[in-house]
Amino acid sequence: MRHRANNAFLWKRATAILLSLLLSPTGMTYAGGPLTVGGPTEGVSGVPLLWDNTTPIAYRVDGGPLSQQPNGGPVVIDNTTGVARVNQLFAYWSAVPTANLTLTNAGGLFAVGSFPANGDVKTVNDFLTVAGDVSGQAPDPNSCNGGGQSPIIFDADGTIFDGLGLPPEVIGFAFQCAFNPTTGKVISAGAILNGRFQDGINNPSANNFELTKDEFDQAFAHEFGHFLGLGHSQINVDLFLDAINSKPYTCTTDDTAGMPLMFPVLGICPAKLTAGVPMIGVDDAAWMSKLYPVPSPAPSGKTSFITAYGTVSGTIFFSDGVTPAQGVNVIARSTNAPRRNTASAVSGYLFTGNPGQTVTCVNPAAPTPQTCSNLGDPFGSRDPALIGHFEIPLPPGTYTLQVESVFAGFAAGSSVGSLDPPIPAPGTYSSTATVSVTAGATTAFNITLQGTQPRFDAFESAALQSPYLRAIWLRREQLIMERQTT
């Protein structure tokens, strides 16, 4: 009996951990900073896809309740309260003093087709009408995919999620709708919130789960970060690893504050507001500010980015000190509060995760999706100089740098960095060397990993792939001579 009670306790604890919400970004993922980076044909190569912040970013909100109990039961969170919560969640981001973001609730939803202005999105058909033609071929100009509006939709009782065939544990999703393929500026995006998680009913056996207000809000503050163009970050991942391995762990206040809102999983530590720490972590604020920097001189109420942040920039190398390493998570930790004041980036975050190839296309000179097996990801730069490159925006201070693998399970919608799935860091780095960060300045800091495998074995090298006329055994000799003379 005692054993069973212990199990029950453990299960409750596990259930609490289950509140870890695996959060997935909208659209293409180039995380550890920006969500999406422009590629050869989409946006500006190597430049993150962002909103045009020279004018306010406008979103529009559903006219119905945020949450209602099933089968036409009582409204649990009415529209006024729901809209206020959405506004507050966006306001967390616009309140970052060094982020040049003005976010505006432009009112109720626009009329789209048969859907009325300021209407309540109640059905799958309503949702699809407001979202518009996802193929982008003939979207209604007022729809999200038509670039007409950025809707925040309340599915009060989960009817829309059910109709779309989504399983009951889906809390919501954000989605990118339209962007300008030339400028790389986002035109519209949207999100839908599953009010069933806030209906006051916690009955897992009936597939009705419940989250606390703080948990639910944190999930959508995270999603709104994606809405604005921010990707995932991995910091204090040791807590997550303990959690999934059922090891005991404790989140200190610094741990909770230092774990980014944009960490791919929520709920490892208490919800930030429950723990009394700011919704936006140091890493979140740093990256949102880098993507949307407040210019100098700063307008009233804001702080210019260059007076508040410096940057550590460099390249991660294999042990040869030459070959850049992609997909390594780099974390800068303040020497004063290393678990709290910390920010990160993934090496090569601007470079594509899939360069593709055209060699085996039917006609390599004119590659098409129909005649090529892998054209690569249309997003992300192809500039080799960006392989292994990282930049971390940081408040002035003294930091140490650490490197680690991106957690192997952070793939697909929860990916961190441009490699999806991630790869283990090819080597290690351990140093107590500190880096001094000064506002407005960039500090160069390259890292050479220790213990990486050679690029190839002793009998394979770049030279061996060269179209030299010499026989292969003679090329090896030549290579040895080259090494001795360089």
- Nearest-Å Rg of the Cα atoms of the chain is 24
Contacts with another protein in 146-175 (CB under 8 A)?
A: 162-175
Q: Which stretch binds another protein (CB under 8 A): 91-99, 242-250, 288-296, 441-449?
A: 242-250
Does position 453 interact with another protein (CB under 8 A)? The reply is yes
52-71 binders of another protein (CB under 8 A)? none
214 binds another protein (CB under 8 A): no
Instruction: Please give the residues from 23 up to 42 whose contact with another protein meets the rule CB under 8 A.
Output: 23-29
Q: Which of 74, 136, 299, 451 binds another protein (CB under 8 A)?
A: 136
Nearest-approach distance from CB 54 to another protein, in angstroms: 25
Residue closer to another protein by CB (options 18, 441) is 18
Cβ-based nearer residue to another protein, 359 or 365: 359
Using CA atoms, how far apart are residues 333 and 259, in angstroms rounded to an integer?
Answer: 12
The Cα 157–Cα 163 span in angstroms is: 12
Tell me the sheet residues that pair with 393.
Answer: 311
C-alpha span between 292 and 385 (Å, rounded): 24
Stretch 293-322 residues interacting with another protein (CB under 8 A): 318, 320, 322
Q: Judged by CB under 8 A, which stretch of 67-75, 302-310, 349-357, 391-399 contacts another protein? A: 349-357
Q: How far apart are CA 15 and CA 267, in angstroms?
A: 11
Q: Which of 403, 414, 416, 429 binds another protein (CB under 8 A)?
A: 414
CA atoms within 13 A on the CB side of 307: 10
Decide whether 205 or 432 has the Cβ nearer to another protein: 205
Phi, psi (rounded to 5 degrees) for 156: -55, -40
Taking every pair of Cα atoms in the chain, the longest distance, rounded to a whole number of angstroms, is 83
Is 477 a binding residue for another protein by CB under 8 A? The answer is: no
Given 84, 306, 411, 439, the residue binding another protein (CB under 8 A): 411
Q: CB of 217: closest distance to another protein in angstroms?
A: 12
* CA atoms of 274 and 213, how far apart (whole Å): 9
- Does a cis peptide bond (omega within 30 degrees of 0) precede residue 248? no
Any residues with CB less than 8 A from the CB of 207 and at least 6 apart, and which? 168
Single-letter code of the amino acid located at 277: V
Beta bridge partners of 104: 58
Neighbours of 302 (CB within 10 A): 17
Backbone angles phi, psi at 152, to 5 degrees: -110, 115
Counting contacts by CB under 8 A, is residue 358 touching another protein? yes
Stretch that binds another protein, among 4-12, 48-56, 81-89, 101-109 (CB under 8 A): 4-12
Residue 20 binds to another protein (criterion: CB under 8 A): yes
Using CB under 8 A as the binding rule, the residues of this chain from 431 to 450 that contact another protein are none
Query: CB within 8 A of 74, min separation 6: which ones?
Result: 68
Query: 99 is written with which tokens?
Result: 């982020």
Q: How far is CA 302 from the centre of its chain?
A: 25
Q: Using CB under 8 A, which residues numbered 323 to 342 contact another protein?
A: 323-327
248 binds another protein (CB under 8 A): no
Q: Which residues contact 480 (CB under 8 A, 6 or more apart)?
A: none
Interface with another protein, residue 470, by CB under 8 A: no
Contacting range for another protein; rule: CB under 8 A; set: 19-27, 90-98, 255-263, 279-287? 19-27
Among 78, 133, 214, 254, binds another protein (CB under 8 A): 133
How far, CA to CA in Å, does 148 sit from each of 71, 86, 130, 185, 224?
32, 20, 10, 14, 19
Side chain identity at 309, as an amino acid letter? Answer: Y
* Contacting another protein within 74-103 (CB under 8 A): none
Which is nearer to another protein, 335 or 360 (by Cβ)?
A: 360
Smallest distance, another protein to C-beta of residue 257, A: 22
Q: Is the peptide bond before 297 cis (omega within 30 degrees of 0)?
A: yes
The distance of closest approach from Cβ of residue 209 to another protein in the complex, given in angstroms and rounded to an integer, is 6
Which segment (15-23, 61-69, 76-84, 332-340) binds another protein by CB under 8 A? Answer: 15-23
Residue range at the interface with another protein (CB under 8 A); choices 78-86, 300-308, 333-341, 451-459: 451-459
Of 173 and 309, CB closest to another protein: 173
